[in-house]
């Protein structure tokens, strides 16, 4: 898709080795980006993951003077400061930031606690925003740079049992759009990569709250139990049907790195492209009804535990 739309964009020819910082490299799209950039010796690369996952990266990659593996929890101010200090001292600063770290809760809003909400937003929004703030001074002084935020189709349209994840992606999309305006006069590019359903095991890595896990275990007679019973296999089925793999999204990220003035929004899968235009051309009142009707067995939801008039 990116090739068809933006083939006319000029590729950036670097006379130096850009410094690329990638977060969330323990699995999925982040790991695929790490694997791809490891092959390109024209870049200086820092791939990161939380300390609990760093061993996996160390076993997979050989570090050298242009490819670093570092522990980074994006929600930790100390981790961010320590890493940025090391990069600034040895390489002068970050030229390309790829925010890929993120988590997803499977829980309806009623089953989320304040602590759960904060953890979701902290990882998917506050942490990435803090990293953007950390790299911008160097980019601003250089008059160039790229910030690439890996968002989601959930930043375009919401989905039941993923309300807080959707909110975090909407927030990331909003701040990225505002930042695009702020950075345009300074020569810094901001891009949102918007994957939809990607064929991977990432759907197994979702977080559950105590209440959502309990409701799913008890089954459809429990309030919201039918939501979980239908949505989990529905999402898994759509992921298994997808033609897009993490490596495809990684190649798209590389194209953005190598392209002058890439666009702000880039749908990364066929379904994301479909929803991208659906949201723009179908009136919202009609769109909501269409999407609601497409949910699995939605007309049966709540029948066993609500007094709603039928």
Helix ranges, 45-155 (H): 54-60, 77-91, 114-121, 127-142
Number of H helices, E strands in the chain: 12, 7
Choose, from 104, 151, 152, 168, the residue flagged as catalytic. 151
Buried b (16+ CB within 10 A) or exposed e, 243-261: ebbbbbbbbbbbbbbbbee
Q: For residue 272, what are its two tokens? A: 């994301």
For residue 211, what are the contacts with CB-CB under 8 A and spacing of at least 6?
107, 110, 111
Choose, from 43, 105, 125, 165, the residue flagged as catalytic. 165
For 38, other C-beta atoms within 10 Å of its C-beta total: 17
Q: How far is CA 235 from CA 23, 29, 44, 83, 162, in A?
A: 25, 18, 37, 36, 11
Q: Is 212 a catalytic residue?
A: no
For residue 39, what are the contacts with CB-CB under 8 A and spacing of at least 6?
none
CA distance 68 to 72: 12
Q: Is 151 a catalytic residue?
A: yes
Would you give the DSSP letter of residue 10?
A: P
Choose, from 164, 169, 200, 212, the residue flagged as catalytic. 169
Q: Is 169 a catalytic residue?
A: yes
Q: Are 93 and 138 in contact (CB under 8 A)?
A: yes
CA distance 227 to 305: 12
Q: Which residues are annotated as catalytic?
A: 151, 165, 169
């Amino acid at each position: 898709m990116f090739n068809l739309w933006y083939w006319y964009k000029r590729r950036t020819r670097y006379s130096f080795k850009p410094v690329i910082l990638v977060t969330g490299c323990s699995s999925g799209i982040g790991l695929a980006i790490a694997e791809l950039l490891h092959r390109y010796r024209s870049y200086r690369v820092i791939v990161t993951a939380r300390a609990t996952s760093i061993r996996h990266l160390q076993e997979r990659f050989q570090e050298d003077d242009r490819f670093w593996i570092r522990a980074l929890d994006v929600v930790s101010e100390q981790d961010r400061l320590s890493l940025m200090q090391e990069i600034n001292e040895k390489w002068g600063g970050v030229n390309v930031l790829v925010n890929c770290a993120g988590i997803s809760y499977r829980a309806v809003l009623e089953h989320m606690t304040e602590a759960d909400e904060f953890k979701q937003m902290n990882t998917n929004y506050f942490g990435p925003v803090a990293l953007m703030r950390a790299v911008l001074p160097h980019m601003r002084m250089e008059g160039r740079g790229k910030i690439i935020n890996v968002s989601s189709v959930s930043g375009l349209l919401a989905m039941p049992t993923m309300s807080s994840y959707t909110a975090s992606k909407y927030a990331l999309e909003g701040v990225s759009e505002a930042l695009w305006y702020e950075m345009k006069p300074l020569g810094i590019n901001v891009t949102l990569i918007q994957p939809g359903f990607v064929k991977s095991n990432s759907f197994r890595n979702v977080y559950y709250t105590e209440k959502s896990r309990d409701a799913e275990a008890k089954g459809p007679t429990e309030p919201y139990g039918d939501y979980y019973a239908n949505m989990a296999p529905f999402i898994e089925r759509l992921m298994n049907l997808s033609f897009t793999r993490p490596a495809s999204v990684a190649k798209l990220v590389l194209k953005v790195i190598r392209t002058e003035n890439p666009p702000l929004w880039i749908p990364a899968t066929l379904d994301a492209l479909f929803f991208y235009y659906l949201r723009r051309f179908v009136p919202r009142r009609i769109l909501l009804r269409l999407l609601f009707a497409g949910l699995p067995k939605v007309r049966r939801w709540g029948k066993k535990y609500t007094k709603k008039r039928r």
